[in-house]
């Protein structure tokens, strides 16, 4: 039997569901929370409820949004001819720190037989529909450079090519993949051989 009051134990259980948060970390977070001012705790609870109430998926790119169209899809200053396909909304946050100015499409996962994720679980049909109106001229495949990410990129490019051959998608649509290579600031001698191989394959003319 737990010696903790029921509502405390319940909150610890809730926190334990987060990835990378075990029961010990969850306890520490909850006890820290309970050492705070009552107003601060209420604020957190309300913030969770508010995010749940206000956040929807953008109808166009499936990014998180507080309206039908996210701030990126709704913006006039973005390049509407380039579409970057990513796994999840968190990837967009990272990519927005670069000078990329195009639009995004959130696939909602990566193909992974081990985790029982097949193409039907992803937004492949939605992506095909998005590409079929002819506005997009370049689709950048920006899935992770992992086994699952590579397989997903491969699958998507094959699918799009299939629809290009059937005429549903314009043949002029270019499919590109983000470069795999050595991360900036890293040490060549410690790089794994696959990364090195990719880095050689992707070499470019030196100014």
Q: Considering only residues 74, 79, 90, 165, which one is a binding residue for its own copies as defined by CB under 8 A?
A: 90
Alpha carbon distance 29, 91 (integer Å): 26
Contact range with its own copies by CB under 8 A, out of 43-51, 141-149, 159-167, 188-196? 43-51
Q: Please pick, from the candidates 22, 59, 66, 135, the single residue that binds its own copies as defined by CB under 8 A.
A: 66
Distance in angstroms (rounded) separating the CA atoms of residues 118 and 112: 6
**Interface residue with its own copies, options 16, 33, 80, 170 (CB under 8 A):** 33
CB-wise, 10 or 135, nearer to its own copies?
A: 10
Query: Which of 22, 81, 96, 179 touches its own copies (CB under 8 A)?
Result: 96
Residues 33, 41 contacting (CB under 8 angstroms):
yes
Q: Is position 167 an interface residue for its own copies (rule: CB under 8 A)?
A: no
Dihedral over Cα of 41, 57, 147, 94: its sign:
negative
* Least Cβ distance, residue 80 to its own copies (angstroms): 17
Nearest to 85, CA basis, from 114, 113, 109: 109
3-state DSSP assignment of residue 26: helix
Q: Where are the beta strands (DSSP E) in 68-169?
A: 82-86, 103-106, 138-141
3-state secondary structure of 35: coil
Tell me how far, at minimum, the Cβ of 25 lies from its own copies, in Å. 8
Give the DSSP H or E segment for 56. strand 56-57
Considering the rule CB under 8 A, would residue 48 count as an interface residue with its own copies?
yes
The answer to whether residue 19 forms part of the interface with its own copies (CB under 8 A) is: yes
Question: Phi and psi at residue 126, in whole multiples of 5°?
Answer: -60, -40
Instruction: For residue 146, state whether it binds its own copies (rule: CB under 8 A).
Output: no
| 201 is a contact residue toward its own copies (CB under 8 A) | no
Chain residues binding its own copies by CB under 8 A are 3-8, 10-11, 14, 17-21, 27-35, 38, 40-52, 54-55, 64-66, 70-72, 88-90, 92-93, 96
């Amino acid at each position: 039997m737990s010696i903790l009051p029921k509502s405390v134990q319940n909150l610890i259980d809730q926190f334990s569901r987060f990835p990378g948060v075990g029961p010990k970390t969850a306890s520490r977070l909850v006890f820290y929370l309970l050492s705070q001012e009552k107003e601060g705790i209420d604020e957190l609870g309300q913030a969770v409820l508010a995010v749940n109430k206000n956040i929807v998926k953008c109808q166009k790119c499936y990014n998180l949004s507080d309206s039908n169209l996210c701030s990126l899809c709704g913006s006039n200053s973005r390049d509407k001819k380039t579409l970057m396909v990513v796994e999840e909304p968190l990837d967009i946050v990272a990519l927005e720190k670069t000078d990329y100015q195009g639009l995004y499409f959130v696939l909602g996962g990566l193909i992974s037989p081990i985790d029982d994720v097949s193409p039907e679980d992803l937004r492949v049909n939605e992506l095909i529909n998005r590409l079929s109106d002819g506005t997009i001229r370049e689709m950048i495949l920006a899935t992770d450079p992992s086994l699952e990410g590579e397989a997903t990129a491969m699958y998507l490019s094959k699918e799009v090519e299939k629809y290009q051959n059937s005429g549903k998608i314009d043949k002029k649509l270019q499919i590109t993949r983000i470069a795999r290579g050595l991360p900036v600031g890293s040490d060549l001698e410690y790089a794994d051989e696959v990364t090195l191989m990719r880095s050689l394959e992707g070499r470019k003319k030196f100014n």
